[in-house]
Chain A
């Protein structure tokens, strides 16, 4: 194999890209920050390998590249200088001793990188062998898929894009190699066309499959997630490095959010209440990057209030009865707490910072209690008047616009982008809420990652996982708005619960563990803390009103009993499907590049699939307007070209007559012979072109009809 062809370059390049899919996930499992160096070095290995230099030169070049790559990553000394050699030698000595002592884990980064590079060099050789000599790659492709699947399942690495790339690269590579093997046995003259047809067909099919696969709605996994089982069987603690968090019901500890939410329908309490309000446990003001905490360092703190005086409120009473054997410290309450009406002697006090209602003197909440509360209608016009944060009270600004320094910039950039069209706080909040309830995000209570030590909870949700439950959505909304200096706080508690009985005045509701919820409150001067619901699938049942007309824009929705708070699996699927349908119909508004691409592919596929019919149609048309061509000679020659197109090629050594005899056998006719003799008269016999006499026209139609059939 002394000469290398462009064909070989193409497949070798594809093989290289396939190998790169092994390197891409490495940052997810190691602490390397130099993956691009490894990739560049690997590319150079492949280039050296492809050039097929003498062995000693290959070895020399590869060693040089390896050393320079390592130098780039680890050393500050001048490359190949005396000090540099000293450092390298030291590394070798240290690692040699470590290896000799069996301390394989402790080898230095330098040595591990060296090993990786040597592995890559070996891979470049193997790839050359597989792709150029053996011309088979399936085994490696299958391994790649397995590797990426494992990476996706057990690490934070998201392999969606990688899978698409692997399928595209891998199948194109397989098809090309197969084509090369096929054409090797074909006649030299036919190789080009055969290769072209095969590759084009294969590429169209692969691309169509990938596009369709990417675009089509996907069913949820049919099997339960095997990861927890495998991990428990193997004794591995949770994924992603954080503590294994699994929330059940109302939580008291929120400094480390993330992980799944377990659906548990055991009851917490029953309540007779006049309004359909969320049950408040407490609100938190300090976002750490991993969760929420209380910050009590503010100097001056007024009483915990929800509504400013200027807002219309309505009073009500709630009678709460905890379920048997259930005990919670906080007293849950709807709306704004007013006073305790009946609680078998216990008194409650509200925490000024969190709004948590606790038993005076400590201890858990009484098994049953009655309290008075107020709910408010929020005037939209007044909220829309808020365009600056100048009128926010100092203690509000201080407590509720904090974000951690570690928050990645892209969160703020996203908030900026989402709200750039709006000038007031209300519309901005709505824009963020709309974005979070939109199609970008999927509601899911399982497989929710716990951010690692260096990851941000909000950033991970917004840009990586894009799936989650109320905590993800509410925290994200709160943090997004805070980057715009809009005061927000994170509230947790329960949704109103399921209606179990009602009178004309009151409704009896049952609140269960899976009603546990969190939402966001945004501060508006002269209005107070206004709740928002960024979690998709939850009815946004707060009362916002236009004052002038007095009509509610969105009213309470008493229909709630029918809908569980946490949408069940099937509903969720429906929702996803609807979104996908909307996307497919192009109603999403955004530009979907794959739509025209898919259309073009379908068109191309159709053209290829129906090419015989199309060619037939075209030939008939051509014949029916003979005035356009230069008579019979041109027509006959175009007929031959079209027969070529249909896959019946005349070998260059074949005379027309031999070809016609062969074709007539295939088409089971003798018309092409007739046409050919007619053509010979004009082409070799200098006879005048008489156009098409009847019997020739008849033969023509016969050939066209049979060829197109």
Chain B
């Protein structure tokens, strides 16, 4: 992995030129990219969601497309459509915006479930089917969707089953004062995104993805991961715990995350770091008067505080 250490470093720095003070979120976005997962950004408008996606896309020299989701958007507006060509007397496939390396699905909860599932199916299948013809998505394909947690009027909340197609759910949050000042300084003349140069090629990304798959996960770490996931299923505050798909997602995310820290093995810290981003949108809280009302984050913090970290040979011998 040594040859990519410098490039990963450069990639991070490149994105940081545009996105101020969101190191952890940048790291997570890159982790999702390397793990072949997708990201759901949930926050108010104007905190840099779009800028983040564009910076990632430009830094890896990828084709970038943006879909603004509206209630009247049709599935074909996403996947593309076959159009009859008068000259050739044949239907011709016109690519939709999903046919790009990096796609931003803005305000995904504003469109109808029909359109939502057309997109999310694409995520799962790595391909779209238009008029019986299967078109493969580009490789790499990286989707970042955003949704606004404040305005719920006229929205179609994503169902649980579709939420867990996203590897991470990230909240960007407002920058602090210094960061915002920095943002102002940088955008004083022209926006730095305009001049951002690609530092990593798509081939590099593909190679890194292959390396991420080889990041070692020790039995002890897997055991720790499972302890946490299984605790969500037994907690009396949780209606529906994290599925095995969630376990796999957590492990894949941890592999990519470790890789970004220049490690070819996962440590419990990786798991612990990622739990708040990988698990919350994969569980359903019990929300009745009797159990009281807890957020996913609270429950997960409690679980983390109670789950023993495997850290010695003696503990290891027990598995």
Give A residues with C-beta under 8 Å from B: 633-634, 637, 640, 650, 652-658, 680-681, 683-687
Contact = CB atoms under 8 A, between A and B. Distances in A.
Contact of A686 (B218, B304, B311, B313): B218
A128 B76 CA distance: 79
Contact of A681 (B220, B265, B269, B309): B265
Contacts of B220: 683-684
A390 to B, nearest CB: 82
B267 interface: yes
A653 B304 CA distance: 7
Interface of B: 216, 218, 220-221, 263-269, 272, 304-309, 311-314, 316
B218 A655 contact: no
B218 A684 contact: yes
Contacts of A653: 304-309
7 contacts: A640-B311, A652-B308, A652-B309, A655-B311, A657-B267, A684-B265, A687-B265
A681 B264 CA distance: 9
Given A683-B220, A684-B220, A686-B216, A654 B309 contact: yes
A685 B313 contact: no
B309 A655 contact: yes
B218 A685 contact: yes
A678 to B, nearest CB: 12
B138 to A, nearest CB: 34
A419 B266 CA distance: 84
B266 A684 contact: yes
A685 B262 CA distance: 12
Given A655-B267, A655-B269, A685 B312 contact: no
Given A653-B308, A656-B309, A684-B221, 8 more contacts: A633-B313, A634-B313, A650-B311, A653-B305, A654-B309, A655-B309, A685-B264, A685-B265
B265 to A, nearest CB: 3
A617 to B, nearest CB: 24
A302 B238 CA distance: 113
Contacts of A633: 313
A652 B268 CA distance: 12
Contacts of A637: 312-314
Given A684-B220, A685-B216, A655 B264 contact: no
Interface centre among A650, A653, A686 (most CB of B within 10 A): A653
B269 A657 contact: yes
Contacts of A654: 309
Nearest to A652: B308
B216 A656 contact: no
Nearest to A658: B269
A590 B299 CA distance: 68
Contacts of B272: 655
A114 B268 CA distance: 68
B316 to A, nearest CB: 8
Interface centre among A650, A680, A686 (most CB of B within 10 A): A680
Closest 8 CB pairs of A and B: A685-B265, A652-B308, A655-B268, A684-B218, A655-B269, A684-B267, A657-B269, A655-B309
A620 B218 CA distance: 31
Interface centre among B263, B265, B307, B316 (most CB of A within 10 A): B265
B40 to A, nearest CB: 27
B227 to A, nearest CB: 11
B300 to A, nearest CB: 12
Nearest to B216: A686
Contacts of A634: 313
A17 B278 CA distance: 60
Contacts of A656: 267-268, 309, 311
A554 B66 CA distance: 123
A692 to B, nearest CB: 17
B36 to A, nearest CB: 23
Contacts of B264: 685
A656 B311 CA distance: 7
